[in-house]
Amino acid sequence: MDRFSQGVATVSSFLLGAMALVVAYEVGSRYFFGRPTIWAWDVNVQLMMAMIMLGIADVYRRDMHIRVDVFTSRLSERARAWLDVLYAPLLLFIAVIILWTGWEYFYKAFLRGQRASTLLAPPLWPIKFLLPLCGALLAVQVVVKFFRDLRVALGKARA
């Protein structure tokens, strides 16, 4: 799962480069040629959403998410692992909610043929599909990390 999560995060990081290219093209088109695009905003919004959604599971896997560690930094490795074990069911619950409601959100957009209310008006279901995908990837990563943390908490492995 770690390799898969890392691979998805790598795809996510390439989307940042794609966003930079789209912005550079838009700036050049607008200010050098006086011909702004009608698609740059829509594409960048969708690329940004994809980048965020696809990167969430790997951010959690690497413990790079935002946390207040004023107290936890003073704890032992095992004690921090116990806190992560206790925290995991809550995060799993949140991931399942993202998966469930994200699927409903995507499915309605797909059935209705929902489009963005912009000049380009791209279909919204492809980007909305990333919500349940993100929820599923995060849920699996939470379970994997839970068992990893449990082994550390029980003294059977090191973090």
Q: Which amino acid would we find at residue 27?
A: V
pLDDT in tens, 4-15: 878 888 888 899
Torsional sign, CA 77, 79, 80, 82:
positive
pLDDT in tens, 39-94: 998 999 999 999 988 888 888 877 777 777 777 778 888 988 899 999 999 999 99
Residue 25 structural domain: 2-153
Instruction: Establish if 67 belongs to a structural domain.
Output: yes
The dihedrals phi and psi of 93, each to the nearest 5 degrees, come to: -60, -45
Q: How many domains does the chain have?
A: 1
Predicted model pTM: 0.82
Instruction: Establish if 100 belongs to a structural domain.
Output: yes
